[in-house]
Structure 1
Amino acid sequence: MIPIKDDVPTRSFPLITLLLIGVNVGVFLHEMSLSDEELEIFVRTYGLLPLDLVHFNLLNFITHMFIHGNIAHIFGNMLFLWIFGNNVEDALGKFRFLILYFLSGFAAAILQSAVAILMGDINIPMVGASGAISGIIAAYGKLYPFARVYAVIPPFIFLIFALPAWFFIGYWFVIQVLSAMFIPTSLGGVAWYAHIGGFLAGWYLIDNLYPRAKKIVIYTR
């Protein structure tokens, strides 16, 4: 399912969400300016290799979140970040939103790296913001479970479906779990365990980052 928009208005300007999108797009434009050889060096230098987990390479735990493989990769990630991120930022505020984003990204990287080491896939670098964004998706699901997410469902690309957030996000998470079980990263090129790790982190963290008094209002929206 491809989200188009939701029906939750924001009360504040989504500055951090837009800044994150801007940095990701800026890095991707830089990638496009590189030759194939330069791009490979760039990804190997700033992407996250599984053994970076063992070597505690903190820099790459951050930089890999801002690198993307192709236009479809960055477009999909930024679309999800915009639709779900602006409302989560609105609820949490700027600073706590950043904490949620990066901690979810770290959790995603740790789980994906650990699984890759266990499976022997130690030479495949991980790039992309999807782990951090998965945490944002989970937080949105807890904060706005009954919001409507308007989405297209291939092959019915000319129809827009209004789906409750709990269904859209629950379906999305099930797909990540099933894909992790049956599609190895080395075959599909997608870090499924990063999505799962980021989602679980966001699901847990939102309860500790969001004031309980306000949470009640949003849950009963």
Structure 2
Amino acid sequence: MFLPLHDSNPIRHVHFPYVNYGLIGITILVFLVQAALPPSAFDAATINFGMIPIVVRDLYPQPVAWLPDWANLVTYAFLHADWLHLLTNMLFLWVFGDNIEDALGHAKYLVFYLACAVFAALAHLLFNLEGNGPLIGASGAVAGVMGAYIVLYPHARVFVLARIVWLIPLPVPAFWMLGFWIATQLFYVVIGSDEPVAWWAHLGGFAAGLALAPLLKRHNVPLWGGR
């Protein structure tokens, strides 16, 4: 229903958010390698490096012998199913990630992003204990970035491309835009949607972002800012 285009929230503490751009670049590069593979190898990469609950729980052997079971809690976040899946996640990360890196600092932001990916995967695992399909995609980690943004910059203006009758750009407070997004995730969890979307991973990543941002932020970055 909407896509973020950019925000009116300048960075103040770092000269260049190279960790955020690096994560975007690495994720795109990984997908380009995936896309160059034949279909059978593409599927094999998804199984080998995606997060499969019964593998992480050690109920089924790890497909890649040298890879520890826990590593899939991170590697899955750098894989994507198709271009739309990739570009949507990277657009959200592009819009919101630079400000979170600015608020946390480079090293803490990297730890934060990977931690959100892990918590998102664990939330998915908790509600899919017998799941034998691979979880892939950066959306859980990106949801963590969005959770951090809503607690640090709820009043910042985000320009979104919204479909009302026509597609039109609208400036809205981050709280409303991100609040609507998380409400949508909760709605689909409650109704039990059959869509192949990892709703619990989104909720787990978002909750991790909410919890971790106040702990990791710079001391001079206030909560509930963005005015």
Match of 1:43 among 39, 43, 46: 46
Q: Aligned partners of 1:36, 1:97: CA distance in 2, in Å?
A: 34
Q: Is the 8 A contact 1:3 1:149 kept in 2?
A: yes
Question: 1:126 deviation in Å?
Answer: 0.2
Q: Which residue of 1 aligns with 2:84?
A: 72
**Alignment match, 1:9:** 10
Give yes or no for contact 1:138–1:200 (8 Å, CA) kept in 2.
yes
Q: Which runs of 4+ in 1 moved over 3 A?
A: 155-158
Larger mean Cα displacement after TM superposition, 194-203 or 148-157: 148-157
- Look up the equivalent residue of 2:4 and give its one-letter code: P
Cα pair distance change 1:19/1:33, threshold 3 Å: same
* Equivalent AA in structure 2 for residue 198 of structure 1: G
TM-score by length of 1: 0.92
> Gaps (5+ residues) in structure 1?
none
Post-superposition offset of 1:14: 1.1
What do the CA deviations read for 1:145-164 (whole angstroms, capped 9, x no partner)? Answer: 10001001225453111110
**Unpaired segments of 5 or more residues in structure 2?**
59-67
- Partner of 2:53, secondary structure, is coil
- For 2:214, the equivalent position in structure 1 comes to 207
Quickly say closer, same or farther: Cα 1:155–1:214, change in 2 above 3 A.
closer
Q: Is the 8 A contact 1:53 1:114 kept in 2?
A: no
The CA deviation at 1:108 is: 0.4
Question: Contact (CA 8 Å) 1:53, 1:110: kept in 2 or not?
Answer: no
Aligned letter for 2:214? Answer: D
Q: How many residues align?
A: 215
Q: Partner amino acid for 1:96?
A: K
2:121 counterpart of 1:109: yes
**What is the alpha-carbon distance in structure 2 between the residues aligned to residue 113 and residue 84 of structure 1?**
26
Larger helix fraction of residues: 1
Could you tell me how far apart the structure 2 residues matched to 1:168 and 1:77 are? 16
Letter in 1 for 2:195: G
Please name the residue that 1:179 is paired with: 188
Normalised by the length of structure 2, the TM-score is 0.90
Q: 1:59 aligns with which of 51, 71, 76?
A: 71
The match for 2:146 is 137
Task: Give 1:101 shift.
Answer: 0.6
Identity over aligned pairs, percent: 33
